[in-house]
Amino acid sequence: MTRTLIISHSHPRLKGGGGEVAAHRQFQHMHEQGQDAWFLGAAFDPAIVAALFPGQSRLVEFAPHDHGFRAHAMDASLMEHTSPEDEEALLNILLRYRADVYHFHHFWNIGAGVVRRLRAARPDARMICTLHEFIAICMADGQMVKRNNGQLCTEANPVACALCFPHLIPAHFVVRKQRLAEMLDCFDLVFSPSQFLADRFIAWGLDPARLRVLENGLLPEEGSVTPPPDRHRRFAYFGQATPTKGLDVLLRAVRRAAEDDVPFSLDIHGVTEARFRELWPKEPELPDTVRFRGTYRPSEVVDLMRGYGWVVVPSVWWENAPVVIQEARLAGTPVIASNIGGMKEKVGGWGELFPVGDSESLARLILALAADPKAHAEALSRITPPLMIDEHVRLWEAEVAAL
């Protein structure tokens, strides 16, 4: 039986971002189908590391075949371990699984050197990578947003990158690209969850013959929520509060829309008001139509979404294939999203788009939709089902088998 090890830059038990959740869903499905599948996710938060890894231990078992490894400091530029001992230890952990297929969801917390050395040590194994953002292209957290002015970046070149990181010379980025391109060359196959992300990597120089577009798969969810009759007036945000997620854009739009007499509400899931104030301390008071609902479990999100008419995804960076958009499709809830990148691709044909970062346009759209139940009904009729995890794994296995 083929042994598959799925490696992620984090473990969803410790941090619930889209990439690690997608990786773990793939593992869960394969494991439940009786395949010899294993999962290995990084633990990097100092408080968590201290609790999970006493002394010099490096591996923890969460469940059968489901493990976490102790991540160590890395060079954020070249994605290399700063300690040869830590790199050697992680390589030995990976080799210990004796997998036939190593599938990496990301390479942060894993290390480019580990990938290259694994390829050399296991030339017979098949090595796969799923991209989740642009970090091989862009050193600015893989978001392709200019650090000096917040503008969207459309390509990486040494001079432009040096302007974002003035302590580094352009030649540094020539070397960075070469080293990370060499790492990606170690993979037999590279998956991208969106065509937009794939096109960016092809333009950067990745061989399109080794690149496949395959959306992340979702688990089926049984609905238990009956949508309220005024659903079209209920808007919601699901996700984290980071500067690029556009929550400030959304709340400025809601503040503007609340000046009108059209009734509507906005619930914020995944963010506390204290966290919002920490990031945007100068924002004025919010209207009574806004409620912060705090954290939620991933297993709850689809049912929660069914209680709303619209899920808003106002990110001010390109995104790739936001899980929240797939979850909204599964919930049967239309999406309002910024008109760029993977958001535009994933919402096209069944959602609503607004100019990225434009709170005035978003305010007008919220008011128009809150006043028009017919527009909501039409959006509902256009929603198509997302890719489910069983079909995702079937398509993934067919590509791997063809290698």
> What is the number of other CB atoms lying within 10 angstroms of the CB of residue 358?
17
Q: Is 241 a domain residue?
A: yes
Q: Is 317 a domain residue?
A: yes
Q: Is 224 a domain residue?
A: no
With a cut of 80, say whether residue 213 has pLDDT above it: yes
Residue 223's pLDDT band, with cuts at 50, 70 and 90, is: low
Q: What is the pLDDT of residues 79-100, one digit of tens each?
A: 999 999 999 999 999 999 999 9
Q: For position 210, which CATH number holds?
A: 3.40.50.2000
Beta strands in 188-260 (DSSP E): 189-192, 211-213, 234-238
Please indicate, yes or no, whether residues 75 and 171 belong to a single structural domain of this protein.
yes
Please indicate, yes or no, whether residues 53 and 195 belong to a single structural domain of this protein.
yes
Residue 44's pLDDT band, with cuts at 50, 70 and 90, is: confident
Q: Is 351 a domain residue?
A: yes
Please indicate, yes or no, whether residues 180 and 272 belong to a single structural domain of this protein.
no
Residue 62: per-residue pLDDT: 95
Please indicate, yes or no, whether residues 85 and 152 belong to a single structural domain of this protein.
yes
Please indicate, yes or no, whether residues 279 and 192 belong to a single structural domain of this protein.
no
Please indicate, yes or no, whether residues 252 and 171 belong to a single structural domain of this protein.
no
**Domain that includes residue 268, residue range:** 231-382
Please indicate, yes or no, whether residues 184 and 327 belong to a single structural domain of this protein.
no
CA distance 369 to 309: 9
Beta strands in 231-289 (DSSP E): 234-238, 265-269
Q: Each residue of 246-256: b (16+ CB within 10 Å) or e?
A: bbbbbbbbbbb
Please indicate, yes or no, whether residues 303 and 396 belong to a single structural domain of this protein.
no
Residue 111 Cα distances to 19, 53, 108, 174, angstroms? 17, 20, 6, 19
With a cut of 70, say whether residue 396 has pLDDT above it: yes
Q: What is the pLDDT of residues 255-313, one digit of tens each?
A: 999 999 999 999 999 999 999 889 888 888 899 999 999 888 878 899 999 999 999 99
Residue 221: per-residue pLDDT: 77
List the one residue out of 70, 7, 1, 71 whose CA is nearest residue 38.
7
Residue 241: per-residue pLDDT: 84
Number of independent structural domains in the chain? 2
User: Which residues on adjacent β-strands are paired with residue 313?
Assistant: 337
With a cut of 90, say whether residue 49 has pLDDT above it: no
Please indicate, yes or no, whether residues 161 and 303 belong to a single structural domain of this protein.
no
Please indicate, yes or no, whether residues 90 and 193 belong to a single structural domain of this protein.
yes
What residues contact residue 357 under an 8 Å CB cut-off, 6+ apart? 246, 249, 316, 338
Mean pLDDT calculated for residue range 166-176: 96
Q: Is 226 a domain residue?
A: no
What average pLDDT is seen over the chain? Answer: 94
Q: Is 223 a domain residue?
A: no
- Residue labelled with tokens 């060359």: 185
With a cut of 80, say whether residue 222 has pLDDT above it: no
Residue 6's pLDDT band, with cuts at 50, 70 and 90, is: very high
Q: Is 210 a domain residue?
A: yes
Q: Is 222 a domain residue?
A: no
Please indicate, yes or no, whether residues 373 and 392 belong to a single structural domain of this protein.
no
CA distance 123 to 100: 10
List the one residue out of 236, 187, 278, 222 whose CA is nearest residue 370.
236
Please indicate, yes or no, whether residues 15 and 126 belong to a single structural domain of this protein.
yes
Judged by average pLDDT, the poorest of 6-20, 31-45, 61-75, 177-191 is 6-20
Residue 279: per-residue pLDDT: 87
